[in-house]
Amino acid sequence: MQPTPPSGSEGPDDFGWEPGTVLADPGFFGEPDDTENEPVRDWAWVEEWRESGEPPAWAPGVAVAVFTGLVVGMAVLVLSKGLASMPWLAVSSNVLVALGLAPALWLSRHLPVLRWISAGAAAGVLIAWIGALIS
């Protein structure tokens, strides 16, 4: 026999929801949202790193960028070579891959660790495109 949920507004239900919990953000439905005028803030660890004034770690960062560039570059090159018999499909798939990566790479360009990953991925895509055009 299952226990009965509390009656009224005594405590949370089986899913941990408190009675009267609003499930939707009121700003989602076009109502005014008070957060529009607040300044955009980074994550706490990013703000802490920026305030510390610590210089970037170049050696590990370049290693991460090279590794990421190799992985992304090889993936794009294999995609290009696999579709070489249909050039229109190869070009369109490469453009779709680049357009899919671009927002994430652009947004992470100023974050401490992710900037190396985004730089490596961007370089990998460009080098793979050059390699695909040459061969």
Question: For 24-47, how does the pLDDT look when each residue is reduced to its tens digit (9 = 90+)?
Answer: 555 555 555 555 666 667 778 778
Q: How far is CA 83 from CA 76, 87, 134, in A?
A: 11, 7, 15
**How many Å apart are CA 106 and CA 5, to the nearest integer?**
48
Answer with the residue of higher pLDDT: 27 or 62: 62
Please state the rounded mean pLDDT for residues 43-62: 84
Measured from the Cβ of residue 83, the count of other Cβ atoms closer than 10 Å reads 17
Q: Which of 88, 99, 87 is nearest to 125 (CA)?
A: 99
**How many Å apart are CA 84 and CA 132, to the nearest integer?**
9
Which tens digit of pLDDT belongs to each residue from 66-122?
999 999 999 999 999 999 899 999 999 999 999 999 999 998 888 888 899 999 999
Cα 26 off chain centre by: 26
Count how many Cα atoms sit within 13 Å of the Cα of residue 39 in the half-sphere of its side chain. 3
Predicted local distance difference test score (pLDDT) of residue 50: 80
Which of 7-11, 19-23, 110-114, 130-134 has the highest average model confidence (pLDDT)? Answer: 130-134
Answer with the residue of higher pLDDT: 14 or 116: 116
How confident is residue 53, by pLDDT bands cut at 50, 70 and 90?
confident
